């Protein structure tokens, strides 16, 4: 069998891939793995995956939509990587208490085709603000918010230097922004869209079809890692940190905050957590790729400002994408083999493979 070659960004979205490697789940399923390769930005990770350097990656969920339907690359979503796990952090130099206070500001996002861009623009529209793409230094109207792409590791330093006013990104860079860059958590994305997907586990469709047994073993390991990560967040945070196995270049206290620090009483911004009754964690882990979420993402992308040619989006049918982009076979078989995922949040025990999406800005 081919060696499992993982590419990942240094974010908690990659947790299950890294835990599957660290805990030997791939090996116990009969696979060999190479040490996962850390990549600093989404573009080089996408390029490495497309070139075959990696055969197992986590990607922001809208990226496979762009890769498959704009670029014709045979990517398949195999499972979700996690739930929630992102937030909007503003600089202390910005007197912002809600989305409405972001008018005239500079906001960094990690990638045009990201959940962050989608959810951010949901919030901006709700507040009556208009996202724009302008060169740095160009003047903005009071109701305009300028968006710029920035690799996640660059966001906290840029915020501290006041080169940007806010950023929306995956953990642990929100925790870094809070603890090291003087930032304030304005809103958790999982408090806007209940138990939303962000990163997904992806493979090349050609490889999946050519090696179904290998693919099943990979997904068995991923589902086991989902279960372990959900049940052992504090331990996993230390394992991932540079105080543990060094997959992430942050200290354990930062990664632990990113994975466990989620109480509405902890935040000065009254909007940081509006829906504590949802029972969400700052990040949670479950593998099932709900079709309803894919359909919502496709429809929201059509309303989201994105750099470059987006004409392909208008032709997409959300029901078709939910069936064509996602391979449900292997993750479902793995979930049947390892059923402890049922303890994760967001499942209806009577109908665990379907749900209604809840969005409350």
Phi, psi for residue 224 in degrees, rounded to 5: -60, -40
Q: Establish whether the linkage from the previous residue to 204 is cis, with ω within 30° of 0.
A: no
- Find out whether 261 and 283 touch, Cβ atoms under 8 Å: no
Residue 345 — pLDDT band, cuts 50, 70, 90? Answer: confident
Question: Measured between alpha carbons, how far is 180 from 183 in angstroms, rounded to an integer?
Answer: 8
pLDDT one-digit tens code per residue, 1-21: 699 999 999 999 999 999 999
**Residue for token pair 């700052």:** 282
Residues β-bridged to residue 163: none
Distances (CA, A) of 98 to 17, 44, 89, 90, 338: 34, 33, 11, 10, 41
**Residue for token pair 């809208």:** 62
**Residue 351: predicted pLDDT:** 84
- Find out whether 18 and 240 touch, Cβ atoms under 8 Å: yes
- Find out whether 248 and 233 touch, Cβ atoms under 8 Å: no
Predicted structure pTM score: 0.96
Q: Is the pLDDT of residue 350 over 80?
A: no
Q: Is 336 exposed, middle or buried (0-12, 13-18, 19+ CB in 10 A)?
A: exposed
Sorted by sequence, the CB contacts under 8 Å of residue 256 that are 6+ apart come out as 234, 237, 238, 241
pLDDT one-digit tens code per residue, 74-97: 999 999 999 999 999 999 999 999
Residue 268 — pLDDT band, cuts 50, 70, 90? Answer: confident
Q: Is 70 exposed, middle or buried (0-12, 13-18, 19+ CB in 10 A)?
A: middle
pLDDT one-digit tens code per residue, 153-175: 999 999 999 999 999 999 999 99
- Find out whether 347 and 97 touch, Cβ atoms under 8 Å: no
Q: Is the pLDDT of residue 269 over 80?
A: no
Spell out the alpha helix ranges (H) of 55-151.
Answer: 62-69, 115-126
Segments of the chain assigned E as strands: 6-8, 37-38, 56-60, 75-80, 83-84, 86-91, 106-109, 130-132, 144-149, 166-170, 183-188, 199-204, 283-284
Question: Measured between alpha carbons, how far is 174 from 169 in angstroms, rounded to an integer?
Answer: 7
Encoded tokens for 242: 């540079």
Encoded tokens for 66: 């762009």
CA 101 from centroid of its chain's CA atoms:
25
């Amino acid at each position: 069998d081919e060696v499992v070659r993982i590419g990942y960004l240094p974010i908690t979205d990659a947790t299950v891939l890294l835990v599957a490697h660290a805990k030997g789940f791939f090996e116990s399923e009969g696979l060999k793995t190479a040490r996962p390769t850390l990549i600093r930005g989404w573009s080089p990770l996408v390029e490495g995956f497309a070139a075959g350097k990696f055969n197992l990656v986590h990607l922001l969920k809208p990226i496979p939509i762009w890769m498959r339907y704009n670029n014709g690359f045979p990517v398949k979503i195999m499972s979700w990587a996690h739930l929630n796990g992102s937030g909007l952090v503003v600089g202390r130099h910005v007197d912002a208490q809600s989305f409405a206070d972001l008018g005239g500001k500079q906001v960094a996002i990690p990638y045009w085709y990201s959940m962050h861009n989608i959810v951010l623009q949901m919030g901006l529209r709700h507040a009556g603000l208009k996202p724009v793409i302008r060169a740095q230094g160009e003047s903005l109207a009071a109701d305009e918010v300028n968006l710029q792409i920035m690799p996640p590791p660059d966001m906290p330093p840029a915020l501290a230097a006041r080169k940007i006013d806010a950023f929306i990104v995956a953990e642990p860079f929100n925790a870094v922004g809070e603890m090291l860059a003087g930032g304030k958590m304005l809103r958790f994305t999982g408090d806007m869209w209940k138990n939303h997907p962000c990163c997904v586990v992806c493979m090349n469709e050609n490889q999946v079809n050519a090696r179904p047994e290998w693919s099943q073993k990979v997904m068995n390991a991923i589902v086991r890692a989902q279960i372990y990560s959900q049940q052992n967040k504090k331990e996993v945070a230390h394992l991932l940190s540079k105080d543990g196995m060094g997959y992430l270049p942050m200290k354990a206290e930062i990664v632990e905050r990113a994975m466990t620090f989620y109480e509405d009483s902890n935040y000065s911004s009254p909007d940081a957590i509006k829906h504590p009754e949802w029972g969400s964690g700052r990040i949670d882990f479950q593998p099932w790729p709900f079709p309803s979420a894919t359909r919502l993402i496709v429809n929201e992308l059509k309303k989201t400002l994105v750099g470059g040619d987006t004409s392909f989006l208008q032709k997409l049918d959300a029901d078709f994408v939910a069936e064509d982009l996602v391979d449900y076979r292997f993750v479902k078989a793995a979930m049947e083999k390892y059923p402890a995922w049922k303890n994760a949040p967001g499942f209806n025990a009577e109908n665990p493979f379907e749900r209604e999406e809840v969005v409350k800005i």
